[in-house]
Chains A and B, each alone.
Chain A
Amino acid sequence: MKKTDFKNLDLTLYEETLDNGLRVFIVPKNNVSGIYATFSTKYGSNTNEFVPIGEKKMIRVPDGVAHFLEHKVFEQKDGTDPFTYFGQRGIDANANTNYKKTTYLISGIDNFNDSLEYLLDYVQEPYFTDENVEKEKGIIEQELKMYQDVPYRVLTDGIMYNVLSKDPSRISIGGTVESIYKITKEDLYKCYNTFYHPSNMFLVVTGNVNKEEIIEIVKENQSRKKFSKPFKIEKKSYDEPDKVKREKETKEMNVIIPKTSICYKINVDELLKIVDEFELGYYVSLFFDIKLGSTSDFINDLKNDGIVTTDLSIDLMKVDNHYLSLICSDTKSPTVLIEKIENVLKDKEINEQDFNRKKKTLISSCIYMSDNIYSINNKIMNNIIIYDKVITDDYEIIKNLNYETFKKIIDKINLKNKSEFTILPKKTKN
């Protein structure tokens, strides 16, 4: 196993790639009692056009198929219910799908080794039938309808759809009620066989474990199963343009307080000439945080003026070679709020004191991360998905962020490509 220390943190990463291509990451943490294991495929809702294993032509599958598959992976040929298996052992189990990955997870204290092995087994041997696929449609329909009633889901789904024009991340992760009713057993097997090959998956175990024991269990388990040789998956690539698809949209919904959002689509090609991608994320998020975050003068003024009553929600995500900076809030004055955000971001002046103060909070969150087995695990998963490797020197990267470079980057950030999405209360009829 390859051993790497996380610099300046009391943590060590052990990593090994098995013969079948499965990557295993272990971070032992022996001052806690819990263990957390995640088994992920680098396949999420944003892959819907690809060449299935053993075929030659690109196919298009219905929206929401990755999430549908996540539900069905729990189905086993012998009828065992994985939740019952884990329940008998006091282990919590769950799964989730996002744009770029699907993760099956377990956590607990006792009976962990058996459960870890069963996690590998149930994910690697699912059983789909026409009947059990049909049965799931009613369940997922209810899940999607539940989300349609959550205003913030509608807001973020709406703005993603408008900001992106080609990348399938523009479509809601679960698809639509209409699209999921088109999904068949064959679709599921094609996606499963292509994306759930061990060479497209990775296992991350964090917590109170013995690393040798864990790697032995996993190796032994994998050696008993047959897989085809690792292969390269051919997926459709999208040349996502810088321009947003639609600049403005308003939707009426059953809400009392309006909700608004603005999303900036920032091309990173020029910025990556100044710093590497690990640093860039920190610099860009610092910019939005200092300007609009919970300790900015800006948010204080907004609250004093009664434009907002809580902090803005600020998110940064990466889609291909673009950063999407998404800012959302409840507000009784959506137009004024958007105008004010645009104005304050136009002024790119930031003082060094604010920069250094925020740098300190980044360091403290880095240390907090190292104390929590869930955060460590999430960090590793995100690193693998975005960079295909685990970053172990975050502490130093943050320490070395510097004000002059920050100014250069901020100066080059292009805020012209943006989209707004607002939810307004329904006008009463009559």
Chain B
Amino acid sequence: MNEQSINFIMDLLFNPNVTNNEFNKESFDIVYNGLKEEIESFEEDPRAYSQIRCLEELDNSLEFSFRQCGYIEDLNNITPKSLFEYYKSVLKSDLIDIFIIGNIDENKIKEIISSKFNINTKKKESDSHYINFNDFRKRAKVVKEQKDFNQSKLVIAAKVENLSDFEKKYVLRLYSHILGGAPDSKLFQTVREKHSLCYYITCTSRMVSSLVTISSGINKENYKKCVTLIKKEMKNMENGLISEEDITKSKIAYISSFKELQDNPSAIIRNALSHEYIQTDLIEESIKNIELVTKDMITNVAKKVHLDTIYLLEGSSKDEKN
């Protein structure tokens, strides 16, 4: 990292290929075509597709259900001219932070950046991104959709009720880890190892969206059996059927994943970034806090996890005969 490479990036940012207030048509088209293909082919990936379909069914007005690749209707409205307008508004009014890590002279790099990066939106306040739910289904909504795949995908989403900051950052994470975060988790051991029903089954918690999702690839005939087993494991978490060993293991996993971040410069930046935008704690504090989580806290959080949507993408291909 030296002045020359910073200059190069600044040149990319501040001197785009623009004439008459429009982005160059050729390079615009390359990006446009790429995005268009990405949107069109989104449905080719059954795992990503089923995840987002489940969240759309849960609540399609909330941001987490939006497709990251975007939508064709929106893309069609973008022109080289409107994109340049947007570019100007980003530089004028968007929140901008710059993170730098590595073998650098702090003062010198600050000086270089402030002299080249001449805009005024640094250190602007960011909005809160957190979503909170206050209505929950009594019975889960069940949605089934058919597509021409070999494997069926099961996705279960649950809304989490009104957690404290500490619960969101630490307890929820341990909850999902114990339930389905690793090969020694409850779901993996039951659904895969004991009943041979799947190859993968994972549980993920999303702190910002107050969601817990579970996903797996199964044979459609085993749908009911899988759902029953998953519900039972969730119920066990509520009833406190969690061993001290489960808790210790999850804490250790959490702590070592944080320690490992320290070997990876871009992971350190990501950590600082979420500290800045969604107020997560930095590495050392996180390691200290996770130790404070108790079994009761996890059981309490488990009681606030409300099953909402069960989505099955039913595969309809006949078995391949090779």
**B218 beta carbon closer than 8 Å to chain A:** yes
Interface residues of B (CB under 8 A from A): 26, 29-30, 33-34, 36-38, 40-41, 43-46, 147-151, 182-184, 189, 192-193, 196-200, 217-219, 245, 248-249, 252-253, 255-256, 259-260, 262-263, 315, 317, 319-322
Residue in contact with A33 in the complex, picked from B192, B259, B322, CB distance below 8 Å:
B259
**What are 24 A-B residue pairs whose CB atoms fall within 8 Å in the complex?**
A33-B263, A34-B260, A81-B189, A88-B248, A89-B252, A92-B256, A108-B256, A135-B193, A138-B197, A139-B192, A139-B199, A145-B150, A145-B219, A145-B315, A148-B320, A149-B315, A254-B147, A257-B37, A303-B30, A303-B33, A304-B30, A306-B33, A330-B37, A426-B148
Contact B44 A151 (CB under 8 A): yes
How would residues 280 to 309 of chain A score, 1 for a CB under 8 Å from any chain B CB and 0 otherwise?
000000000000000000000001101001
A87-B259 in contact given A149-B150, A149-B151 (Cβ < 8 Å): no
**Chain B hits for A83, CB < 8 A:** 182-184
A206 to chain B, nearest CB (A): 12
Contact B44 A148 (CB under 8 A): no
Contact B199 A34 (CB under 8 A): no
**A110 beta carbon closer than 8 Å to chain B:** yes
Residue in contact with B149 in the complex, picked from A89, A254, A310, CB distance below 8 Å:
A254
Contact A142 B199 (CB under 8 A): yes
Contact B217 A142 (CB under 8 A): yes
A88-B249 in contact given A148-B320, A177-B320 (Cβ < 8 Å): yes
Alpha-carbon gap, A108 to B260, bound state (A): 7
Contact A90 B255 (CB under 8 A): yes
**A55 beta carbon closer than 8 Å to chain B:** no
How would residues 129 to 155 of chain A score, 1 for a CB under 8 Å from any chain B CB and 0 otherwise?
000000111111111011011110000
How would residues 77 to 89 of chain A score, 1 for a CB under 8 Å from any chain B CB and 0 otherwise?
0000101100111
**Chain B hits for A34, CB < 8 A:** 260, 263
**A20 beta carbon closer than 8 Å to chain B:** no
**A120 beta carbon closer than 8 Å to chain B:** no
A/B pair count, beta carbons within 8 Å: 122
**A178 beta carbon closer than 8 Å to chain B:** yes
A146-B200 in contact given A306-B29, A309-B34 (Cβ < 8 Å): yes
Residue in contact with B322 in the complex, picked from A135, A140, A176, A254, CB distance below 8 Å:
A176
Alpha-carbon gap, A254 to B150, bound state (A): 10
B55 to chain A, nearest CB (A): 20
- 5 closest pairs, A vs B, by CB? A138-B196, A90-B256, A309-B34, A143-B199, A83-B183
Contact A146 B217 (CB under 8 A): yes
Contact B199 A149 (CB under 8 A): no
Contact A145 B151 (CB under 8 A): yes
**Chain B hits for A332, CB < 8 A:** 37
Interface residues of A (CB under 8 A from B): 32-34, 81, 83-84, 87-93, 108-110, 135-143, 145-146, 148-151, 176-178, 254-257, 303-304, 306, 309-310, 330, 332, 373, 426
**Chain A hits for B43, CB < 8 A:** 256
**Chain A hits for B198, CB < 8 A:** 139, 142
B291 to chain A, nearest CB (A): 13
Contact A142 B219 (CB under 8 A): yes
**Chain B hits for A303, CB < 8 A:** 30, 33
Contact A109 B41 (CB under 8 A): no
Contact A142 B218 (CB under 8 A): yes
A424 to chain B, nearest CB (A): 13
**Chain A hits for B315, CB < 8 A:** 145, 149
Alpha-carbon gap, A410 to B151, bound state (A): 44
Alpha-carbon gap, A146 to B152, bound state (A): 9
* CB closest residue in chain A, given B216: A142
**Chain B hits for A84, CB < 8 A:** 184, 249
Contact B46 A178 (CB under 8 A): no
* CB closest residue in chain B, given A332: B37
Alpha-carbon gap, A135 to B245, bound state (A): 26
Residue in contact with A257 in the complex, picked from B40, B182, B262, CB distance below 8 Å:
B40
Known contacts A88-B252, A135-B196, A140-B199; 9 additional CB pairs below 8 A are A81-B193, A137-B196, A138-B197, A146-B217, A148-B150, A149-B46, A176-B322, A178-B322, A426-B148
